[in-house]
Structure 1
């Protein structure tokens, strides 16, 4: 099953630049691992306001419980809220209509 996840990060005031960079570096490395495992299919970064971090992610998981495990494993989760939309197949999806 696929899920569209809006991930919004709020870094607490007073967090050092070094701490932010460390978490972002670990997040990038872990995202590559999730992609290699087939859980992270795509990331988008929409235009943002100053100080706002928002990412849209397309994730694959067997069910909502596995998706939660995947999202909880990401380093930025300590500062992030996630809004999840389960996606269902649509009759016009290319994967369903290809011959």
Structure 2
């Protein structure tokens, strides 16, 4: 599997009820747990003071990342995503 750096910004549409937001966020947390257990979600961070997420995700290719992973997230209709494919760097200290 290939790794991808994914930046996600979620914007709740105006007029969305608090109960719908809460329900989607709860479903999102459950889905993230499932994807992590399946080895698809590797790491997830939230930059200090920002309302976006940065994560390392795994998929066969970018099409698989969207179809089998990102598009299955309950908050996906409210997300904008930026995807960067990653490959190992020869100087990565994690490989030593």
In the superposition, the TM-score normalised over structure 2's length comes to: 0.91
Is the 8 Å Cα contact of residues 48 and 54 (structure 1) preserved in structure 2?
Answer: no
Counterpart position of 1:64: 62
5+ residue gaps, structure 2, are: none
**Displacement over 3 Å in runs of 4+:** none
Counterpart position of 2:11: 10
Matches within 5 A, 1:37-48: 37-48=38-49
- What is the CA–CA distance in structure 2 between the aligned matches of 1:17 and 1:75, rounded to whole Å? 15
User: Is the aligned partner of 1:74 residue 2:73?
Assistant: yes
CA RMSD of aligned residues (A): 1.2
User: How many matched pairs?
Assistant: 94
Matches within 5 A, 1:13-24: 13-24=14-25
- What is the CA–CA distance in structure 2 between the aligned matches of 1:94 and 1:61, rounded to whole Å? 23
Cα distance per residue 1:20-55 (max 9 Å; x no partner): 000000000000000000000011011235xxx311
- What is the CA–CA distance in structure 2 between the aligned matches of 1:5 and 1:76, rounded to whole Å? 15
- The offset of 1:95, in angstroms, is 4.5
